[in-house]
Amino acid sequence: MTLVNIHDFRDLARRRLPKIFFDYIDGGSFEEETMRANRADFAGFELRQNVLVEPRPQDLSTTFLGARHPLPFMLGPVGFLGLYSGKGEAKAVRAAHAAGIPFCLSTFSIASLADLRAVTKGPLHFQLYALEDRSLCEEFLQAAEHAGVDTLFVTVDTAITGIRERDVRNGFRSLTRVTPGLFARLAMKPRWLADVALAGMPSVRAIEHRPEFGRGALEQAANLSRGIDKTLSWKDIVWLRERWTGKLVIKGVLSAEDAVKARDIGCDGVVISNHGGRQLDGASSTIRALPGIREAVGSDFCLMLDGGIRRGSDVIKAVGLGADGVMLGRAYAYGLSAAGQEGVSEIIAILAREISISLALMGVASIDELKSLGTEAVRPR
């Protein structure tokens, strides 16, 4: 099978992964309306085509989160990478760092920050779910400090989990251990099983020393998600801002009002995100929310965007409409599930190639030039 684009990697991931995990990655909440809107609404914007422009050297590098990066995107937090491919988190961070782009480790990971620090010297970011158990939260913050985490992403759109009906049907949400029935379903994908089994019994390493969370990744994850703080409010963000001395970014903002609050509290940026359409179904797509948020926060505040990024032109549209950088979710989870570290590298290379070709055809030499052209280069259709 020739893998030409990210959709092809999705198809291959569907064949390689047990259905229960593919559906967990691929699905959204309820009617999956917001998940589809994240993709569909990119088509509501068009790129300006400028021809016969004097050729200039192309430069895809740009600045986001206070640092220069060779590409305008990074790998965002995706839970349980180590269940889609053995040592999945290490594979993803290696692929990211080989391309010079940042990687953000999810709270819900098989590998811990210390595990990743052992495989890379590059910059690490960590995504925190605030937990009711503040002592565990504090442990996570200390582990992040110890691993030299640069940016803490606090995810705020998941106090209550949206119902992902594919997961309910597959019994994913009630899984706490591998029953004989589940094992039979997993064994239908022997290649996946061998790969994950070789990495050892999956366990959430960051909480292994806490017996109250149970044993094995499934039980630990179920208990961890029950422990997410449902009462999180701006007061807690103010506290975190005082506690965390590195960069602090709020992930899951979709309104101008919330972005302005985050800025005024002293956060370093926000991720415009609806959790890939996995939470509030019926919420706006992220690309539609972006222009109003950029207008409200001004030009200096860092805005990242995720949701539905599958094409280089999606990245260009997001950057042209005011995002400093873009974060990948499912795109690289498909790559990892389909082909491990190489798959993630290939996803990054495909997006870079598509961005490069589209920019050239737009007559735009660099991502920074695209940023300064803004809505001259990307406008509503």
Ligand X SMILES: Cc1cc2nc3c(=O)[nH]c(=O)nc-3n(C[C@H](O)[C@H](O)[C@H](O)COP(=O)(O)O)c2cc1C
Would you please indicate which residues are annotated as catalytic (active-site) residues?
275
Residue 348 contacts residue 96 (beta carbons within 8 Å): yes
Give the binding range for ligand X (CB under 6 A) out of 3-11, 190-198, 236-244, 305-313. Answer: 305-313
Q: Which of residues 120-179 bind ligand X (CB under 6 A)?
A: 127, 155
Neighbours of 168 (CB within 10 A): 12
69 is in an annotated binding site: no
What's the farthest any 2 CA atoms get from each other in the chain? 66
Stretch that binds ligand X, among 60-68, 115-123, 254-262, 330-338 (CB under 6 A): 330-338
Q: CB–CB of 279/321 below 8 Å? A: no
The correct pick among 72, 82, 307, 335 for binding ligand X (CB under 6 A) is 307
Alpha helices by DSSP H, listed for 110-255, are 113-119, 134-146, 165-170, 180-186, 190-198, 217-226, 234-243
Q: Any contact of residue 317 with ligand X (CB under 6 A)?
A: no
Q: Does 205 bind ligand X (CB under 6 A)?
A: no
- Is residue 76 a contact residue for ligand X (CB under 6 A)? yes
Q: Does 337 bind ligand X (CB under 6 A)?
A: no
Q: Is 313 in the site for ligand X (CB under 6 A)?
A: no
For β-strands 67-69 and 62-64, DSSP reports them as antiparallel
Stretch that binds ligand X, among 41-49, 113-121, 164-172, 328-336 (CB under 6 A): 328-336
Least Cα distance to 329 among 127, 62, 94, 59 occurs for 127
User: Is 285:274 a contact under the CB 8 Å cutoff?
Assistant: yes
Site string for ligand X, 258-297 (x = CB under 6 A): ---------------x-xx---------------------
First and final C-alpha spacing in the chain: 35
Element (H, E) at 262: helix 256-265
Q: Which is nearer to ligand X, 103 or 364 (CB)?
A: 103
User: Nearest-CA neighbor of 86 among 51, 54, 120, 115?
Assistant: 115
Q: Does 308 engage in binding with ligand X (CB under 6 A)?
A: yes
Strand 124-128 with 103-105, pairing: parallel
Contact between 72 and ligand X (CB under 6 A)?
A: no
Q: Is 129 annotated as a binding residue?
A: yes
Answer yes or no whether residue 333 interacts with ligand X by CB under 6 A. yes
Cα–Cα distance, 50 to 313 (Å, whole number): 15
Binding-site residues sit at 24, 77-79, 106, 127, 129, 155, 164, 251, 273, 275, 278, 306-310, 329-330
Binding-site residues for FMN sit at 77-79, 106, 127, 155, 251, 273, 306-310, 329-330
Q: Which residues bind ligand X (CB under 6 A)?
A: 24-25, 38, 76-79, 106, 108, 127, 155, 251, 273, 275-276, 306-309, 328-331, 333
